[in-house]
Structure 1
């Protein structure tokens, strides 16, 4: 938010210099983000002074140049060569001296005045025309000033040019009370008064407002919930034109372009008081009556920016007898505002429900100065003052006259009442960390316009003015006291006492941390993404249908309009972002909640239709290892990610081979497996389908795993990991090549092996698979490796042979296997 220093000084009289004010503003929470210079004329005409032409003769070598001597308040006059046809001796003129920088009208850059030699004559400046100074468009000749102008007077002083300092304040959303020049002045004055500094706070008077006892303007509020207070007045005989220079300079300083006197007045009062106003052409109000109401769903309305908008039945509208004229508190209509032909004005001042305005502004994608303030909460008690202030300015600057009384409809009387609660000195001191003297607390509260209604046993009953919408409880008021008292006045203690309490983490948190440590140790990076996502991702899906999404009623954007059902799309967004930034080799993981809407849950069992589930997503793409001189490129595969899953489960004592597996495919995966535990899917793992990759413009294969982490936690809690000494006796390995039916899986053979030999068998691996025309139809060959070990003695050949024979017998009996020689 921009604050004009000159404008600010209209409301506060203090002996503080600008640098001190900037420091104080930051100290009281109105952090100064930047300071810039504003000049009503670029460059401020620095180096340009009033001059008097003493002599003027024709240049001997030119038919249009003149040789002049100009007095500019120095000991010696300046010799200047001038080409203007109207230059003459005795004139008072504006002279740009050597070193001045001028910014001509319509020029992008300025030019510097230098000593020059023109047709053999020296020239030490320039006698200027309007457009050369950037103060007008005239170029018929030089500017001729009144004779009373004093030579040597700076041009800026003579012309009454204004320069200003513009303060950029990084305003926090809760400080709606400071969204105006008067609001900042009021906060500044509170600090100065509390610290014994001089600070006189003033507001322009409205005593001159006189409606002559005329009937009030005709208004009707049919939606009191949306408009708790609505007021208006009619001003007739208005002459639309330019606003005065002082007002235009105020608006330009804070980045607003002046339009006409009436509109400029409403903008001026908005930034003066923080009260948005709106002016209507009264002759365009059908029936002469203003109605505040909602319109039917789907009603079309064209706003000031020329955009046709479709209204909601929850949009508060300012209407006449026939049509809507304005989206209340957001933006006016194209056909009802003030124009050059306007003669009579209906001026509106209101307090609108912040929630209604916020939702309408978001719904239509409009962010105006008015909505910015209304949706944060303004002062409901300044409504009438602001209306009178603007009406008087229109009378003064636009020649209007007040032709109605003020209509003031207060539908919710409580909004004008202060916020009341109790706060104790002990509570204040506990929160601030320092015992602030009670007299100081009372002084600060008085400076903040907080009324103390009663005091008993160290407890104050206070009434906070309603413009402080963020101060509703003792902690809020304590923050205000500390803000004005000064954070820097709270000493840092020499000793800090604290008790270190070890909080036992939940089982899920412990397991998640160990999982993250494992994945990170294996080269994966954790990502964190938004639970809000695009509903469009789920359109056309059956496993995760769009109807299953929890939809956001008031989304910030089309990209964040639903809660995610799966972590897959967040992972794909991360892959796409990195790939587009030339980082295609990725190993990522994310923990997060997913959400589902199922209306049948409520219909069947009376359960909430919404469900939430905690999941782990893991994604791999590109190369698994960095290419090196001694390492070949190793692209990620399905089996790369499967190995990660197998080792992760093993880390918690789970055997992946004990899980039931079912094939996946179709919408999300082109190929994949579902790993199930007791009939429930523990995790899915596969190659992301081409249609999904196409949505993110990805060509490389992407491998994704999604785990039901809540189910995983419940499962691993039942498992224990045993620790034992390293065995003293060696392992023995034996291999078997088996001819099998194609339907026989390695998992089945592994299960047969461990059920046959429980004591000595340590591991079973599959190290070769062959399928080809050298084998009978429907057959395949597996080469298995078996590791045997006895922890109490060295294995003999007889024991090893017996174990292998037993395994072979069971393979033949249970799997129809035949040994290949």
Structure 2
């Protein structure tokens, strides 16, 4: 949600700078995510001031130039060469000082510098309106009539002071603050300052020439419906003040009537809708539901099939608007409109939420109605909008206000006990301050006693319905920072830190991967059902399905990070970023069902790595080489080394996920799987390049953290290397060779490594040759030739016996 700083100041006195206001709002629970300066015109006329021409004489070397001295409020007047024909002594003018950057109406911005023009020094520029972006005239300099002192910023004179857009991350429970008035209410409470409400005293009904009959058939979905008619208005472009207000919060102006309804929505938090009164058949407005499947064309030109529960605003013959959500194409305001019926209502949140979800429509109106607007606001908002429409579009009110509100919504009554306030906040707040805060929040106290009171909460505070909610209101206005941290609490908190800190290890692994060229990604936990279906054979649980999905494409929780990584790769590859290394820490979700039929939900933390493209960027030093399996294996090994994981077993990776690869096991449990992603899976995201992927069980990895380092003395006796060439069946893996070698020689064999692999017709069908090196070492003595030979003979005999190898020395 965006809030305008200047707009906010119309409700409450704010000498504080925008950044300070942001801190105050964040302290009340309205978290400010950013403050952005918005210039009324490009550059904001920074460095442009008011001045007075003291002297003006012709330039001795140029017929069309004048030499002037201009007072701009400094210690000395400025010498400025001016080419305007209308410049003269005694004029009040607009001066761009040295260093100012001007944004002319036409052409590129330029900076004012000290210069010599035909030999005369010039220390600024006397401006025409087009030169500072205020108009298109270049007939001469601007001549002002003002008593403001010299040196006054021109932006102040032209009322073009910069505004600031305050971005608030509004939580769903705080819909009461989804307007400038609502935000000002919180500032009023925390700053203890009065609000200045806009006056509607001038509202008057001129005649009753255009009274409509209004009928509400579904009072549950529409507890309150109000409206009035305005005739004789003119639809046109909005005035500058209105356009600037909407632009300051990121809205595009449309026309003066629609802009006023949008303005009031963001001003007071009450959505409005304007119907062209001449398009309302039968002089009648009916609020009702229609049969299932009824077609209706909305403002965006899309025909939608209505649900039987969709509340509609209709005339005597046809639907005109989806109530609280979206208007219809054939009933809205157009350039030919001269009369309108202006609606201001309170719709039941559940009804609007179901309808908006059914049609996939999210509008400013539905955003507010589905969370709960103020049922006491429609009349005030209606009068405010009517006055503004008359101001910008003319016309007169031609009907009494219709207000159908048979069962007024009552305030919430909540019993609050002082002992619970003290207990939950942690300190005792003065009772007078408690009630000052509540009164400032429009929460009245009733049935007061020494121990408790009943809080009477206005119905617009839909989030304050329990005792704890009222106490939270007291605390957020009193200020969390004003509650001291207990010494015992601090000690207790510190003592509860886990031995293995997941956040710390996540940071360490992230730094390691980033140092090796990986970029961290963060993706949605929601995913397409087709992704889970594609790897169903690998999953141990059922999908976690959303009850109210945003769309069919985001209707289940992911069971793997694989497709999140693939979608990220596709997005970047489509933007010509071809050499990619990514990693992600994220949760996966599953559901199982017990024998009794009870669903159990589980979420597990995973770490994924992905590689695509070249190992290094192509350059004159080296050609690009595609990533290979061992690039991923190296990255995985670096992570395992950080956790000091040494003893691992391997098995082939799941062929449903990988075209080839390995799964590393520790204590016979899978720790990480890595390999080349199966093409049928990359095809699902339209990815044509090979992708190497690794998936860590993060929880299992954390259990291996903090293992003690083992130290041993550097061996005093030398190690010996011996090489063998083994001709074996293609189905024999190096893992089998390594495992058999270590089982055969447990004392002297330190390491084994394959340094060459050869396949050829001369070896025979189905054969391959491994060139393997063996490192031998005895920590107690120097190895003799006899001991070495005896060891190698045992190894060769084992390879021949167990693996069917042919030895080539």
TM-score under structure 2 normalisation? 0.67
Q: Is the 8 A contact 1:760 1:789 kept in 2?
A: yes
Corresponding position: 1:768 with 2:756? yes
Whole-angstrom CA distance in 2 between matches of 1:517 and 1:20: 38
Whole-angstrom CA distance in 1 between matches of 2:39 and 2:201: 30
Q: Is the 8 A contact 2:647 2:666 kept in 1?
A: no
Deviation of residue 326 (structure 1)?
A: 0.9
Assess, with a 3 A threshold, how the Cα gap between structure 1 residues 810 and 171 changes in structure 2: closer, same or farther: closer
- Equivalent residue number for residue 332 of structure 1: 327
Q: Any idea what the Cα deviations from partners look like across 1:632-688, whole Å, max 9, x if unmatched?
A: 98864223433555673894343335x4x3683xx7544434567899866443223
1:608 to 596, 599, 603: 599
Assess, with a 3 A threshold, how the Cα gap between structure 1 residues 348 and 580 changes in structure 2: closer, same or farther: closer
Whole-angstrom CA distance in 1 between matches of 2:474 and 2:311: 37
- Equivalent residue number for residue 406 of structure 1: 402
Whole-angstrom CA distance in 1 between matches of 2:432 and 2:735: 81
Assess, with a 3 A threshold, how the Cα gap between structure 1 residues 330 and 165 changes in structure 2: closer, same or farther: farther
Whole-angstrom CA distance in 1 between matches of 2:618 and 2:257: 70
Corresponding position: 1:592 with 2:586? yes
- Equivalent residue number for residue 783 of structure 1: 771
- Equivalent residue number for residue 686 of structure 1: 675
- Equivalent residue number for residue 563 of structure 1: 557
Q: Which runs of 5+ in 2 are unaligned?
A: 51-90, 97-104, 110-127, 137-144, 149-157
Deviation of residue 333 (structure 1)?
A: 0.7
- Equivalent residue number for residue 143 of structure 1: none
Q: Is the 8 A contact 2:92 2:146 kept in 1?
A: no
Q: Secondary structure at the match of 1:501?
A: helix
Q: Which residues in structure 2 correspond to 1:573-722 (within 5 Å)?
A: 573-575=567-569, 587-595=581-589, 606=597, 608=599, 612-621=603-612, 636-642=627-633, 645=636, 648=640, 651-657=644-650, 659=651, 661=652, 664=655, 669-673=658-662, 683-689=672-678, 701-709=690-698
Q: Secondary structure at the match of 1:706?
A: strand
Whole-angstrom CA distance in 1 between matches of 2:207 and 2:697: 72
Deviation of residue 578 (structure 1)?
A: 6.4
Q: Which runs of 5+ in 1 are unaligned?
A: 48-95, 111-127, 138-150, 155-160
Whole-angstrom CA distance in 2 between matches of 1:392 and 1:444: 33
Q: Would you say how many aligned residue pairs link Structure 1 and Structure 2?
A: 725
Which deviates more, 444-453 or 348-357? 348-357
Whole-angstrom CA distance in 2 between matches of 1:236 and 1:776: 96
- Equivalent residue number for residue 726 of structure 2: 738
Which deviates more, 366-375 or 579-588? 579-588
Q: Any idea what the Cα deviations from partners look like across 1:717-737, whole Å, max 9, x if unmatched?
A: 9x9997665555544444333
- Equivalent residue number for residue 452 of structure 1: 445
Corresponding position: 1:302 with 2:302? no
Deviation of residue 329 (structure 1)?
A: 1.6
Q: Which residues in structure 2 correspond to 1:72-471 (within 5 Å)?
A: 168-174=165-171, 176-180=175-179, 182-183=181-182, 194=192, 203-205=199-201, 217-222=213-218, 224=220, 227-233=221-227, 235=229, 266-267=261-262, 269-270=264-265, 273-281=268-276, 284-285=279-280, 290-295=285-290, 299-311=294-306, 315-320=310-315, 322-338=317-333, 346-354=341-349, 356-357=351-352, 360-361=355-356, 368-387=363-382, 406-409=402-405, 416-423=409-416, 436-471=429-464
Assess, with a 3 A threshold, how the Cα gap between structure 1 residues 750 and 668 changes in structure 2: closer, same or farther: closer
Whole-angstrom CA distance in 2 between matches of 1:800 and 1:338: 96
Assess, with a 3 A threshold, how the Cα gap between structure 1 residues 770 and 34 changes in structure 2: closer, same or farther: closer
Corresponding position: 1:527 with 2:493? no
Q: Secondary structure at the match of 1:456?
A: coil
Higher Rg: 1
Deviation of residue 334 (structure 1)?
A: 1.5
CA RMSD of aligned residues (A): 6.3
Assess, with a 3 A threshold, how the Cα gap between structure 1 residues 805 and 231 changes in structure 2: closer, same or farther: same
Q: Secondary structure at the match of 2:599?
A: coil
Q: Any idea what the Cα deviations from partners look like across 1:447-473, whole Å, max 9, x if unmatched?
A: 332211133345443222222344455
Assess, with a 3 A threshold, how the Cα gap between structure 1 residues 510 and 535 changes in structure 2: closer, same or farther: closer
Assess, with a 3 A threshold, how the Cα gap between structure 1 residues 529 and 190 changes in structure 2: closer, same or farther: closer
TM-score under structure 1 normalisation? 0.67
Q: Is the 8 A contact 1:236 1:401 kept in 2?
A: yes
Q: Is the 8 A contact 1:262 1:398 kept in 2?
A: no
Whole-angstrom CA distance in 2 between matches of 1:741 and 1:5: 80
Whole-angstrom CA distance in 2 between matches of 1:381 and 1:202: 16
Q: Secondary structure at the match of 1:337?
A: coil
Q: Is the 8 A contact 1:211 1:405 kept in 2?
A: no
Q: Is the 8 A contact 2:653 2:674 kept in 1?
A: no
Whole-angstrom CA distance in 1 between matches of 2:364 and 2:163: 18
Deviation of residue 335 (structure 1)?
A: 1.4
Assess, with a 3 A threshold, how the Cα gap between structure 1 residues 26 and 376 changes in structure 2: closer, same or farther: farther
Assess, with a 3 A threshold, how the Cα gap between structure 1 residues 261 and 28 changes in structure 2: closer, same or farther: closer
Whole-angstrom CA distance in 2 between matches of 1:198 and 1:186: 9
Whole-angstrom CA distance in 2 between matches of 1:759 and 1:21: 73
Deviation of residue 761 (structure 1)?
A: 3.7
- Equivalent residue number for residue 66 of structure 2: none
Q: Secondary structure at the match of 1:348?
A: strand
